[in-house]
A = this chain, B = another copy of it.
């Protein structure tokens, strides 16, 4: 198939990576707009200002977690995604994945402001589920088509397990939201924890079997 493609009309993969990096940097910085700085009703008393600061504490917590989640997705992208080739299908999966990344500042705003409602949590959980599924589709398709670099092949199992973590957590979060909306968000705090444990575990195993 590939030898019939018009070579001049191919998008170099470097450009897609650059667009990806740009969208991540912007989305991570736009998250800050999810913390509201309203014009308080004059005259502003110290008590009113303190009440406002207290009211944004959950928004700051949500900002921190969302920033870390995006950072994990970004790292995951660079750690596990080494493509030799690409095609139009893979490109479109990537575009849709970037679209679900770029909407994170919105879903973060929603739970920062209205996190007490189950519906708000479901919007965020759904956003994470879509990110997870598209990323899994991305890796699976690249794998099946043989676009992945050979040196990554021995780590197939690690990568498959790692990529299923996010969709599974999102489904758990959706189930938790029926019991406790706020608890639903806490499920995602596990993402950086799992990511770290996984990295440590990999390193420990490597120490034990140096001939591996």
Contacts and interface: CB of A to CB of B under 8 A. Distances in A.
Interface in A56-86: 63-64, 67-68, 71, 74-75, 78-80, 82
Interface string A109-147: 110011001011001000000000000000000000000
Tier of interface size on chain A: 35 or more
A135 to B, nearest CB: 16
**Per DSSP, are chain A's interface residues mostly helix, strand or loop, or mixed?**
helix
Interface in A185-203: 196, 199, 202-203
A7 B151 contact: yes
Contacts of A6: 155, 202, 206
A102 B31 contact: yes
Given A80-B9, A102-B67, A50 B119 contact: yes
Contacts of A12: 78
B91 A75 contact: yes
A171 interface: no
12 contacts: A6-B206, A15-B78, A19-B24, A19-B25, A22-B22, A29-B102, A33-B33, A37-B109, A49-B114, A49-B117, A67-B99, A71-B98
Interface of A: 1, 4-12, 15, 18-19, 21-40, 44, 46, 49-50, 53, 63-64, 67-68, 71, 74-75, 78-80, 82, 88, 91-92, 95, 98-99, 102-103, 105-106, 109-110, 113-114, 117, 119-120, 123, 149, 151-152, 155, 196, 199, 202-203, 206-207, 210, 212
